C-alpha cells in the first residue's frame, strides 16, 4: 500500500487551528454534540472485547431502518472511513478497476490509489444539476471492474439520485457482476424522499453510513457497512478483525443510545437544517458572483464562483481566511476546480453562518 495524506485532511480546520478561524463553514456535519446534549450518560459497561461484528442491539437498530435487512447484514466499523477502507482493501487489487463518481469523499479515491488499481472518473456537471449520468457510468465499466462508487445524498454537493437512478446503478452492478458502493452517510438528512438503503435492494450493493455527520458525534467513531452477501460479509469481518478485532464497547453503547432516540432527534433536527439551507439560498440569490445547486440532503452545498479567468482564486481563499477569518472547503479538496467550494451550514451557529456568508461576499469584492 502506497499511502499518501489526503488534501482534505492536511488542510482540515483542526490542522490549521480552530482558534485561527472565526467563521468555520468548512465542516460537513451538524454541530458536535455532547453526551448531555443528546440526553445520554456513559453506561456502566464491562470493558471487555465486544462482539466482533458490533453490538447486536446496535446492528438491529441499523437493520430495522429498511425492509429485508437483518442484524447479520450489518458490520459495525470505526466510522464510515473504516468501512470504506475495509471495502476497498477487501474487493480491490492492483489488477482491478474501479469507477468513481466524482467529486466523492476522499477515502473512496485515495485508498484505491494506494492499492494501485485502475480508476475511471465520472465527473458531475454543475450545469446538469450534478446529476449522475448513468450512461457515462456504464460506458466506463470494463471487464475487470470490481466496484462502482457513489455517495447519496452527495458529498459535497448535497444533491440526491432519483430512485430510478439508484435502481439503474443496482441493475448495472448485477448485470456486470461487480459491486455498487453507496456512501449513505447523509441519508437521515434527506429533505424530501429518503431513498432505501442500497444494500436492501441487491446482494451486489453495499451501503455505508455513520453517526458522524447527521448526528454530530464523530468522536465516538461508529459507522457501519451493510451487505446481504453473507460470504462477502465474512470477508469484511476478517478484515475488521485483522485491523482491530472489535470496536469500543463504550462507543457502541453510546451509539445504541443515540439510535434508540433517532426519530425524536431527527424530528427536531431536519426542520432546523432546512431553515439553515434557506439562509444560504437567500444569500446565493442576492450574491451575483455565486451560484449553487440547491442541496436535497445533508448539510453541505457546493457553490460555484461566477468569476472570470483573471480572478485570482488563490488570493481570494487566502484573504477570506487571513482577513475575514472564514474557512470553506475549496474545490481542490475534491479534485475539482477552485472556483467551486464546499460550504457547510449545519456545524456553525446561525450567527456564524450568516457572518461567514457575508465574509465570502466581502472577500469577493476585495
Q: What is the CA radius of gyration of the chain?
A: 20
pLDDT tens column, 180-221: 999 999 999 999 889 999 999 999 999 999 999 999 999 999
Max Cα distance, the chain (Å): 62
Contacts of 192 (CB under 8 A, 6+ apart): 160, 296
Strand intervals (E) in 25-102: 74-77, 97-102
DSSP letters of 128-176? GTT---HHHHHHH--TTEEEEEEESS-TTT-----HHHHHHHHHHHHHH
Confidence of residue 45 (pLDDT cuts 50, 70, 90): confident
Q: What cell does 157 get?
A: 454537493
Residue 16: count other Cβ atoms within 10 Å of its Cβ: 15
pLDDT tens column, 126-144: 999 999 999 999 999 999 9
What pTM was computed for the model? 0.94
What is the DSSP code (8-state) at residue 109?
Answer: H
pLDDT tens column, 66-82: 999 999 999 999 999 99
Contacts of 327 (CB under 8 A, 6+ apart): 13, 16, 21, 23, 24, 25, 26, 320, 321
> Which residue carries 476522499 as its cell?
106
Q: Give the SS3 label for residue 28.
A: coil
Amino acid at each position: 500500500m502506497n499511502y499518501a495524506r489526503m488534501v482534505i485532511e492536511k488542510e482540515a480546520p483542526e490542522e490549521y487551528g480552530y482558534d485561527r478561524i472565526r467563521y468555520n463553514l468548512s465542516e460537513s456535519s451538524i454541530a458536535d454534540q455532547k453526551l448531555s446534549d443528546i440526553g445520554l450518560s456513559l453506561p456502566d459497561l464491562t470493558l471487555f472485547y465486544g462482539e466482533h461484528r458490533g453490538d447486536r442491539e446496535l446492528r438491529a437498530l441499523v437493520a430495522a431502518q429498511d425492509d429485508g435487512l437483518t442484524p447479520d447484514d450489518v458490520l459495525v466499523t470505526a466510522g464510515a472511513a473504516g468501512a470504506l477502507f475495509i471495502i476497498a482493501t477487501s474487493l480491490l487489487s492492483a489488477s482491478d478497476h474501479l469507477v468513481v463518481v466524482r467529486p466523492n469523499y476522499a477515502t473512496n479515491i485515495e485508498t484505491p490509489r494506494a492499492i494501485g488499481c485502475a480508476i475511471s472518473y465520472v465527473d458531475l456537471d454543475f450545469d446538469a444539476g450534478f446529476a449522475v449520468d448513468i450512461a457515462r457510468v456504464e460506458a466506463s465499466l470494463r471487464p475487470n471492474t470490481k466496484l462502482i462508487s457513489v455517495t447519496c445524498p452527495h458529498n459535497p454537493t448535497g444533491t440526491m439520485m432519483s430512485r430510478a437512478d439508484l435502481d439503474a446503478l443496482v441493475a448495472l452492478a448485477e448485470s456486470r457482476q461487480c459491486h455498487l458502493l453507496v456512501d449513505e452517510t447523509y441519508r437521515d438528512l434527506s429533505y424530501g424522499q429518503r431513498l432505501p438503503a442500497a444494500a436492501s435492494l441487491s446482494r451486489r450493493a453495499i451501503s455505508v453510513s455513520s453517526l458522524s455527520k447527521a448526528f454530530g458525534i464523530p468522536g465516538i467513531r461508529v459507522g457501519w457497512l451493510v451487505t446481504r452477501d453473507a460470504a462477502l460479509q465474512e470477508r469484511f469481518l476478517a478484515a475488521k478483525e485483522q485491523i482491530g478485532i472489535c470496536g469500543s464497547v463504550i462507543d457502541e453503547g453510546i451509539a445504541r443510545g443515540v439510535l434508540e432516540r433517532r426519530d425524536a432527534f431527527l424530528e427536531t433536527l431536519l426542520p432546523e437544517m432546512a431553515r439553515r439551507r434557506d439562509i444560504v439560498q437567500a444569500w446565493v440569490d442576492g450574491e451575483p458572483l455565486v451560484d449553487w445547486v440547491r442541496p436535497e440532503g445533508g448539510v453541505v452545498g457546493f457553490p460555484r464562483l461566477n468569476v472570470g479567468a483573471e480572478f485570482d482564486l488563490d488570493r481570494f481563499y487566502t484573504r477570506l481566511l487571513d482577513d475575514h477569518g472564514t474557512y470553506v472547503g475549496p474545490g481542490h479538496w475534491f479534485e475539482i476546480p477552485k472556483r467551486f467550494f464546499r460550504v457547510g451550514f449545519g456545524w456553525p451557529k446561525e450567527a456564524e453562518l450568516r457572518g461567514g456568508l457575508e465574509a465570502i461576499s466581502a472577500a469577493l469584492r476585495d
